[in-house]
């Protein structure tokens, strides 16, 4: 099950760049303090608005009770059931970040005239209800008459007509304000984090009898404390904290699977390859794009190292074999001369010395060709090269048209310019034409055809051609069918390496008669 889930995730894993992963982690880490602060602010504002909603609900219920108990109120008619359009919820209006905070509510001013008698009667009827409500909701509830004189609650007999919320309510509109709480004293070390701790919510609501506002209810209460609210909602908050830590774990896994683990695996594979064993690991599908590219480059590098190692091993074996024969001949002739110099005739001594000289000359030739191959292998493309192939082609053709061997040049004018040095073109053509001449050909043709990316020079002769069995090894160093005539088998290998250094190619192609080679020269930019 877990294996199938991992395979499913790998098959659908998006291609993420390393910078994207790091940026996401950094942004999330940087946003954590801000997210926490915003959460606390929003949560505290929600607690304040919840307290306001409770005061609004209490005020609406008590205002309806006051209206029913007010002297002279008409009898309640038989009302039809409420319809959806009859519901008009009153949303909270307080916002800690926008609502101004007023000073602490002052004590009621002395009343200059007596209170409304009807309001006093209603207050007497409502007193038990208001008392029970305050005991349960902890809200302070005050009833004032139409002039703002207090008839029930704290400061009875005083006047609240100067308060803006009371004036709004007596004008017929409910009003909620924030005021300082003068009785507040901090009890906890971190209470300063709460903006609402030192505030009190005041809600004023009109009391109507018919179409007339006959009084108002003034309700006030401190909002729910931030830390008490956090404690009461600890389950939900812990769930959110767990979700944040879970997201951190996911991001850590993303960094691990996208960066850390692939790099560790690649590092271990590099150590294995350095010790001569181990395979290149497959590219992880969950790795970042740069890491995937690194894996691909490492695989190419590993394959190149393996290919070069095989080449060096085979090349060392071939060099050893090629050098062994002339060295053995020189050693044998030298030993014979040392042991039997006095017994040999002058002709025999000359024959052995001639053999030593021939073998030394072959060794010198092999060393020279090895140096040519090393220089060709280490050559690098020259920047900005732009060559017209016609002059070097004609020079080689003129130089090798000797001794009954004719070279014909068939080039269209003008031929496109190529990014291969003249010396390389001359060396490659010389090697091909020398092979043709030494193979017994009497005539060779140099021609060209252009493609959008390259100029293809081909050299064809009328000789015996290359045997089918020799074709796969034709470009291997030291492979030659004319070893007895002094051939080193290095000419074609050097020519191919020289062209490869300029991003060109040298290939043997099929032909009806003789041998045909094609040299692909990239066009100049």
At 88 the pLDDT is 77
Residue 314 has pLDDT above 60, yes or no: no
Residue 37 has pLDDT above 60, yes or no: no
Whether residue 149 is found in the same domain as residue 27? yes
Closest by CA position to 453, among listed 392, 520, 505: 520
279 inside domain: no
Domain extent, residue 313, equals 289-377
pLDDT confidence tier of residue 383, bands split at 50, 70 and 90? low
For residue 445, give the DSSP letter: E
Looking up residue 310, the CATH number of its domain turns out to be: 1.10.287.130
pLDDT confidence tier of residue 370, bands split at 50, 70 and 90? low
Looking up residue 154, the CATH number of its domain turns out to be: 3.30.450.20
Three-state secondary structure of 33-59: HHHHHHHHHHHHHHHHHHHHHHHHHHH
What's the rounded mean pLDDT across residues 428-434? 82
What are the tens digits of pLDDT across the range 387-404? 888 888 888 888 888 777
Specify which residues 203 forms β-bridges with.
176, 219
At 54 the pLDDT is 92
What are the tens digits of pLDDT across the range 470-508? 776 776 665 565 554 544 556 677 777 778 777 888 888
Residue 73 has pLDDT above 70, yes or no: yes
What's the rounded mean pLDDT across residues 254-273? 77
At 207 the pLDDT is 93
Whether residue 486 is found in the same domain as residue 439? yes
Whether residue 98 is found in the same domain as residue 179? yes
CB 503 within 8 A of CB 381: yes
Looking up residue 487, the CATH number of its domain turns out to be: 3.30.565.10
Distance CA 433, CA 428 (A): 9
What are the tens digits of pLDDT across the range 245-254? 777 777 777 7
Where is pLDDT greater, at 95 or 414? 95
CB 159 within 8 A of CB 108: yes
Closest by CA position to 57, among listed 33, 89, 29: 89
**First CA to last CA distance, the chain:** 57
Distance CA 309, CA 292 (A): 25
Q: How many CB atoms lie within 10 A of CB 351?
A: 13
Whether residue 391 is found in the same domain as residue 339? no
Lowest mean pLDDT among 62-76, 123-137, 285-299: 285-299
Contacts of 392 (CB under 8 A, 6+ apart): 422, 425, 426, 429
Checking DSSP bridges between strand 443-450 and strand 406-410, what pairing results, if any? parallel
Closest by CA position to 176, among listed 101, 251, 110: 101
At 174 the pLDDT is 94
Residue 232 has pLDDT above 50, yes or no: yes
At 91 the pLDDT is 84
Checking DSSP bridges between strand 175-180 and strand 199-209, what pairing results, if any? antiparallel
Residue 372 has pLDDT above 60, yes or no: no
506 inside domain: yes
Whether residue 206 is found in the same domain as residue 62? yes
275 inside domain: no
Checking DSSP bridges between strand 158-159 and strand 175-180, what pairing results, if any? unpaired
At 141 the pLDDT is 94
Whether residue 371 is found in the same domain as residue 406? no
431 inside domain: yes
Domain count of the fold of the chain: 3
Whether residue 196 is found in the same domain as residue 309? no
What are the tens digits of pLDDT across the range 105-160? 998 888 888 888 999 999 999 999 999 999 998 899 999 999 999 999 888 889 99
Whether residue 209 is found in the same domain as residue 308? no
CB 514 within 8 A of CB 503: no
Where is pLDDT greater, at 342 or 220? 220
Residues 136-139: contacts with CB under 8 Å, at least 24 apart: 137/54, 137/58, 137/221, 138/221, 139/54, 139/55, 139/58, 139/219, 139/220, 139/221
At 486 the pLDDT is 47
Q: How many CB atoms lie within 10 A of CB 137?
A: 15
Whether residue 339 is found in the same domain as residue 462? no
- Count how many Cα atoms sit within 13 Å of the Cα of residue 403 in the half-sphere of its side chain: 7
Whether residue 137 is found in the same domain as residue 38? yes
Which residue is listed with tokens 């309700």?
219
Given 326, 356, 377, the domain boundary residue is 377
Whether residue 200 is found in the same domain as residue 310? no
261 inside domain: no
Which residues in 14-38 are b (16+ Cβ under 10 Å) and which e? eebebeebeeeeeeeeeeeeeeeee
What's the rounded mean pLDDT across residues 273-286? 72
441 inside domain: yes
Distance CA 378, CA 494 (A): 11
251 inside domain: no
86 inside domain: no
At 139 the pLDDT is 92
Given 184, 214, 232, the domain boundary residue is 232
Q: Which of 19-33, 42-56, 166-180, 193-207 has the highest mean pLDDT?
A: 166-180
At 142 the pLDDT is 94
Whether residue 371 is found in the same domain as residue 408? no
Looking at every residue in the chain, the average pLDDT score rounds to: 78
Given 350, 377, 404, the domain boundary residue is 377
pLDDT confidence tier of residue 199, bands split at 50, 70 and 90? confident
pTM: 0.47
């Amino acid at each position: 099950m877990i294996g199938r889930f991992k395979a499913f995730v790998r098959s659908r894993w998006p291609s993420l760049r390393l910078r994207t992963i790091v940026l996401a982690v950094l942004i999330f880490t940087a946003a954590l303090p801000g997210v926490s602060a915003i959460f606390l602010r929003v949560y505290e504002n929600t607690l304040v608005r919840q307290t306001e909603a409770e005061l609004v609900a209490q005020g609406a219920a008590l205002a309806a009770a006051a209206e029913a108990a007010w002297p002279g109120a008409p009898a309640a008619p038989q009302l039809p059931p409420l319809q959806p359009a009859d519901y008009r919820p009153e949303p909270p209006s307080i916002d800690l970040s926008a609502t101004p905070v007023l000073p602490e509510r002052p004590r009621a001013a002395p009343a200059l005239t007596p209170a409304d008698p009807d309001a006093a009667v209603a207050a007497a009827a409502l007193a038990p209800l208001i008392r029970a409500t305050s005991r349960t909701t902890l809200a302070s509830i005050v009833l004032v008459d139409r002039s703002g004189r207090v008839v029930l609650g704290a400061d009875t007999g005083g006047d609240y007509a100067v308060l803006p919320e009371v004036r709004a309510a007596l004008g017929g509109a409910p009003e909620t304000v924030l005021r300082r709480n003068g009785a507040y004293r901090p009890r906890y070390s971190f209470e300063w984090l709460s903006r609402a701790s030192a505030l009190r919510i005041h809600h004023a609501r009109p009391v109507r009898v018919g179409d007339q506002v006959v009084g108002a209810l003034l309700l006030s209460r401190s909002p729910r404390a931030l830390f008490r609210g956090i404690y009461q909602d600890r389950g939900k908050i812990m769930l959110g904290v767990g979700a944040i830590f879970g997201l951190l774990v996911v991001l850590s896994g993303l960094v691990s699977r996208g960066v850390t683990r692939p790099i560790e695996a690649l590092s271990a594979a590099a150590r294995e390859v350095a010790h001569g064993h181990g395979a290149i690991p497959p590219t992880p599908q969950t790795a970042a794009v740069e890491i995937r590219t690194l894996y691909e480059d490492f695989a190419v590098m590993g394959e190149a190292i393996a290919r070069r190692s095989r080449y060096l091993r085979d090349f060392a074996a071939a060099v050893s074999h090629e050098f062994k024969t002339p060295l053995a001949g020189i050693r044998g002739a030298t030993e014979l001369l040392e042991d039997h110099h006095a017994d040999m005739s002058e002709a025999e001594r000359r024959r052995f010395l001639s053999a030593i000289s021939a073998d030394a000359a072959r060794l010198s030739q092999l060393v020279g060709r090895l140096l040519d191959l090393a220089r060709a292998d280490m050559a690098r493309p020259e920047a900005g090269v732009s060559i017209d192939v016609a002059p070097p082609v004609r020079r080689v053709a003129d130089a090798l048209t000797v001794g009954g061997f004719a070279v014909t040049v068939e080039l269209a004018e003008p031929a496109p310019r190529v990014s291969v040095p003249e010396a390389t073109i001359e060396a490659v053509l010389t090697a091909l034409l020398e092979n043709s001449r030494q193979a017994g050909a009497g005539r060779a043709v140099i021609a060209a055809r252009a493609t959008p990316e390259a100029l293809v020079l081909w050299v064809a002769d009328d000789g015996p051609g290359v045997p089918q069995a020799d074709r796969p090894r034709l470009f291997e160093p030291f492979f030659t069918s004319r070893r007895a005539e002094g051939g080193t088998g290095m000419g074609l290998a050097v020519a191919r390496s020289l062209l490869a250094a300029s991003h060109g190619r040298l290939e043997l192609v099929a032909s009806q008669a003789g041998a045909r080679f094609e040299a692909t020269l990239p066009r100049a930019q």
